[in-house]
Amino acid sequence: QEEEHSNVFFQLLLDYLRFSASSYTAIGKICFMSDEASAVTVHKFVSEQLNLITDVILNAKGVESFSTEIFKAVQAVIDSIVRLCKEYSPAVNQWINEIKTNGNEGIARMEEGNTVCNLVSIITLGVKSLSELGMLAARDGGNLVTILNTSWKGVITLLQIDKQMVSEVDIGEIILKLISLIKESLRFAAEAWSSCSVKENVSATEARRVFLPVKFYLINAVKVVALFPSQSSL
């Protein structure tokens, strides 16, 4: 009976994640930034989704029987959140340009609760949450490669929306996270390489497999540094 209850729970979780991913498509078709209440509601929804998928990743071993489908659904949710932010990114750019043009008046509008603030907050929240998801997925020993790739790809995509957001995002922290992953991957690669005997022939495929994580994290670190060179040097 316990197994049956567990299966029902994970099926409900899977259905909810799939529903959530499809909900972003509907949200993208309406201008949720037309009023403050809608923008706040969407922000809360995104925040809850990010918290949920973080819990799912933290308890990845507990969803083993449904892992393939659930992780696909998690990936779909991440992709949907990033896509939603990209669709409304022109509004962010326009808002930031207005602040630059209008000076104090533009800042006053921001402080009054301009709905675009909520989108900026969603993007910032996305960067922070997805970078943490990327760290959690990396610690799982390679079993969450899809989530790992999707999370860091999402971080880079959101950072590219507008560099003015950097004041809300700790770029140095993101780079340090990637550097720690690079160091850990190098350590693992060195151990794997040294465990091979001198006479053992290591195929090119195996060599690529061992060093691929190092390349992945290094490429993402370089992208962040290229986007924010001044912040990266601090």
Q: What is the pLDDT of residues 141-162, one digit of tens each?
A: 667 889 999 999 999 999 988 6
Average pLDDT over residues 108-120: 62
Same domain? For 151 and 109 the reply is yes
pLDDT at 112 over 90: no
Amino acid (one-letter) located at 133: L
Same domain? For 158 and 181 the reply is no
Same domain? For 112 and 7 the reply is yes
pLDDT at 232 over 90: no
Task: Count the domains in the chain.
Answer: 2
Q: Pick 157 or 93 by higher pLDDT.
A: 157
Of 169, 201, 220, the residue that ends a domain is 169
Q: Pick 76 or 62 by higher pLDDT.
A: 76
Host domain of residue 226: 170-234
Its pTM stands at 0.85
**According to the model, what pLDDT value does residue 234 have?**
53
Same domain? For 161 and 189 the reply is no
Same domain? For 44 and 131 the reply is yes
Same domain? For 106 and 134 the reply is yes
**According to the model, what pLDDT value does residue 65 have?**
64
Of 169, 190, 210, the residue that ends a domain is 169
Q: What gap in Å lies between CA 154 and CA 103, rounded to an integer?
A: 32
Counting other chains too, the contacts that 42-48 makes at CB distance below 8 Å and 24 or more residues apart are 42/118, 42/122, 43/118, 43/121, 43/122, 43/125, 46/81, 46/84, 46/122, 46/125, 46/126, 47/125
Same domain? For 96 and 110 the reply is yes
Same domain? For 205 and 95 the reply is no
Query: What whole-number percentage of the chain has pLDDT above 90?
Result: 33
Q: What gap in Å lies between CA 68 and CA 128, rounded to an integer?
A: 25
Average pLDDT over residues 106-125: 67
Task: Return the exposure string of 104-131: e unless at least 16 CB atoms fall within 10 Å of the residue's CB, then b.
Answer: eebeebeeeebbbbbbbbbbbbbbbbbb
CATH number at residue 24: 1.20.1050
Same domain? For 201 and 88 the reply is no
The pLDDT tens digits for 30-54 are: 766 667 777 888 889 999 999 999 9
Same domain? For 199 and 164 the reply is no
Of 169, 199, 223, the residue that ends a domain is 169
Same domain? For 148 and 75 the reply is yes
Same domain? For 80 and 34 the reply is yes
